[in-house]
Amino acid sequence: MLPLTFKIATEQQEFDQIYQLNYHTFVEEIPQHQPNPDLRLVDKFHEQNTYIICLCDQQLIGMIAVRGERPFSLDAKLPNLDDYLPKGRSVCEIRLLAIKPNYRKGMVFRGLLEKVVEYCLARGYDLAIISGTVRQLKLYRHLGFVPFGPLVGSAQALYQPMSLTLEDFRRKIPWILTSSPYIRLPKTKTLDLGQTSQSAQTATPTQGQTARSQAAKGAVNLLPGPVDIHPEVQKAFCRTPISHRSRRFAKQLAETKQRLCELVKAERAEIFLGSGTLANDVIGAQLSLQPGSGVILSNGEFGERLVDHAIRFGLRFSVLRAEWGSPLDYELLEELLQKESQITWLWCVHCETSTGVLNDLARISSLGQRHNLLVCADCISSIGTVEVDLRNIYLASGVSGKGLGALPGLSIVFSNQKEPPAPSKLPRYLDLGYYALKNGLPFTSSSNLLAALEAAVKRLEPKERLCRIRELGGWLRNELRACGLKIVAADEESAPAIISIALPGHIDSELMGQRLEEEGYLLSYGSDYLLERNWIQICLMSEYSQDELASLPQLLARLIKELGKEKE
């Protein structure tokens, strides 16, 4: 049997299949709705529903919907619904359970149930209500649901209103709690924190499991990397490896490089087997061939790493620094370039990941043009999260992970001219010209990582993705500030996908990061530069909804109070 994937529906093709299964189940099988010529049924609460689905080879075979907004479907059937429910509960309505007939025995129902339990616990729901078809009352009672109120519906489709409390759930179906690695029960009755992300969890683990399943099951991944991996990318990664000398690999490499170039408006791209540090080493190697001296711009950790690259290559350069979290001083840079005629190159970071500052690459590029400089940029955290235009950039670095959404392991160097090989001056592995001479295939590479990158770039919709990140980042910043949190970068200088937070001095950032992990959020906090400054960091590199992050700001504020009291 092919692996089953349990996930939250996010793609249009998934919703199209949901409409079809909805029709088959609730029109043809259970005559609750009237037939229609389209053979599709769109639920009236579709826009508010969260659909948890099961896929087999990209085909929908099962689904269930969860919704926490009033009015519920049951409100229309029982006008006095609240009279039947216990007070002070966080209520959700679970509906539209549908599984294709051939899959109704075995893993599908169990997997949907585990996933819906994970989702409801993470959202803080402690009471679930359903309209249980009278055909399956025995099953619902076995799961712990208790009937309330009269039967509702029609003679052809009768339903029994039922409810399940968190306490009854603990008592009635402990097998889910002990068998599923994705579920953690809250220590207290009410859990108003956390959320699952929209990446898939597969019934058959593979090498392409998501970053979340490798790190903390059921947690929302807010790391700068590794990011959550889309099932299509995961599937591409798991293909049988092919030779890097095959025509198929060469074609795939050429097409992927072309797509990458179109994304950032560059003429050329070479892909290296290694991290972003390798890509910046390649840039440093090329700069070592240039006459004159350079200037490096630094206002954070990754600007300082460019300085380290330059030192290791023995480059002649000066450093123009700004305070961490502050914008670069472009007027001072202009003065420096006017005074120092021997400067021939400039190197900067576009998105300074450490602070969340987005440096003005367009302005830096314009300065470079006016002063006839070769401008190089570290775009590792900006590609795929903001618009990147490299038309007037000499060299730029990128990676397969982060904003592009593939697995880590490949780095990219973009350029706008073909460099000649430098066999007498550069190591073979760092010689950009040698890669160009060999059409990007000088050494062994990974067909699996390339296939994953190709799949990630193909499914990338830049305008929609960048707009979504921008809106979500702006909303989250406002919510965090409203809860009294201090954000390092000012809004006008900020990268929408990175929010660095300076914690109060009496709160330990490492302990805060650990507590957030316990509550279901993976944030960045363990890097030396974050620990030294008592910062934590939220990165919106994966795919999220606003609902998934809604409780995070208040959770942070609450944990600050709790940790402060513990220290007293």
Average pLDDT over residues 331-341: 95
Say how far apart CA 467 and CA 134 lie, in whole Å: 45
| pLDDT of 546 higher than 90 | no
Q: What is the mean pLDDT of the chain?
A: 89
Domain co-membership, 299 together with 280: yes
| % of the chain at pLDDT higher than 70 | 90
For residue 173, what pLDDT is reported?
Answer: 59
Do 182 and 115 meet the contact criterion of CB atoms below 8 Å apart?
yes
pLDDT tens for 172-193 read: 655 444 444 333 434 333 222 2
Say how far apart CA 251 and CA 257 lie, in whole Å: 10
For residue 106, what pLDDT is reported?
Answer: 66
| pLDDT of 501 higher than 60 | yes
Domain co-membership, 135 together with 264: no
Nearest Cα to Cα of residue 270 among 452, 459, 407, 434: 434
Task: Look at residue 289 and tell me if it is in a domain.
Answer: yes
Do 365 and 393 meet the contact criterion of CB atoms below 8 Å apart?
yes
Domain co-membership, 32 together with 160: yes
Say how far apart CA 484 and CA 453 lie, in whole Å: 39
Domain co-membership, 116 together with 259: no
Q: Phi-psi category of 243—alpha, beta or left, where left has phi over 0 and alpha has psi -120 to 50?
A: beta
Q: Given 424, 459, 494, which residue is the final one in a domain?
A: 459
Say how far apart CA 435 and CA 178 lie, in whole Å: 52
Q: Given 459, 485, 505, which residue is the final one in a domain?
A: 459
Say how far apart CA 276 and CA 153 lie, in whole Å: 59
Domain co-membership, 454 together with 471: no
Domain co-membership, 340 together with 480: no
| pLDDT of 420 higher than 70 | yes
For residue 208, what pLDDT is reported?
Answer: 29
Say how far apart CA 473 and CA 480 lie, in whole Å: 10
Domain co-membership, 434 together with 491: no
Domain co-membership, 409 together with 309: yes
Domain co-membership, 31 together with 175: yes
For residue 60, what pLDDT is reported?
Answer: 95
For residue 1, what pLDDT is reported?
Answer: 52
Say how far apart CA 332 and CA 278 lie, in whole Å: 30
Say how far apart CA 479 and CA 494 lie, in whole Å: 16
| pLDDT of 565 higher than 90 | no
Task: Look at residue 199 and tell me if it is in a domain.
Answer: no
Domain co-membership, 250 together with 132: no
Do 246 and 358 meet the contact criterion of CB atoms below 8 Å apart?
no
pLDDT tens for 109-148 read: 888 988 888 888 888 888 999 998 888 888 888 788 899 9
Strand partners of residue 499: 538
Q: Rg for the chain (alpha carbons), in Å?
A: 27
Task: Look at residue 544 and tell me if it is in a domain.
Answer: yes
Task: Look at residue 212 and tell me if it is in a domain.
Answer: no
Domain co-membership, 18 together with 42: yes
Output the domain CATH number for residue 384: 3.40.640.10
DSSP 175-232: HHHHH-TT----SSS--------S--EESS--TT--HHHHH-TT-EE-SSSSPP--HH
pLDDT tens for 36-91 read: 999 999 999 999 999 999 999 889 999 999 999 999 999 999 989 999 998 889 99
Instruction: Tell me which residue range forms the domain holding 559.
Output: 462-567
State the pairing for strand pair 317-321/293-298: parallel
pLDDT tens for 20-51 read: 999 999 999 988 899 999 999 999 999 999 99
What count of residues does the chain have?
568
Domain co-membership, 133 together with 261: no
Q: Given 459, 479, 511, which residue is the final one in a domain?
A: 459
CB atoms within 10 A of CB 42: 13
Output the domain CATH number for residue 157: 3.40.630.30
Say how far apart CA 159 and CA 147 lie, in whole Å: 10
For residue 177, what pLDDT is reported?
Answer: 45
For residue 2, what pLDDT is reported?
Answer: 66
Task: Look at residue 261 and tell me if it is in a domain.
Answer: yes
Number of domains in the chain: 3
Least confident of 2-11, 57-66, 392-401, 553-562: 2-11
Task: Look at residue 230 and tell me if it is in a domain.
Answer: no
Give the global pTM: 0.65
pLDDT tens for 212-271 read: 333 334 589 999 999 999 989 999 999 999 999 999 999 999 999 999 999 999 999 999
| pLDDT of 396 higher than 60 | yes
Say how far apart CA 225 and CA 244 lie, in whole Å: 26
Would you say the C-alpha torsion 228, 494, 528, 333 has a positive or negative sign?
positive
Average pLDDT over residues 366-393: 97
For residue 172, what pLDDT is reported?
Answer: 62
| pLDDT of 315 higher than 70 | yes
Output the domain CATH number for residue 546: 3.90.1150.10
Task: Look at residue 271 and tell me if it is in a domain.
Answer: yes
Task: Look at residue 202 and tell me if it is in a domain.
Answer: no
| pLDDT of 354 higher than 50 | yes
CB atoms within 10 A of CB 205: 12
For residue 121, what pLDDT is reported?
Answer: 84
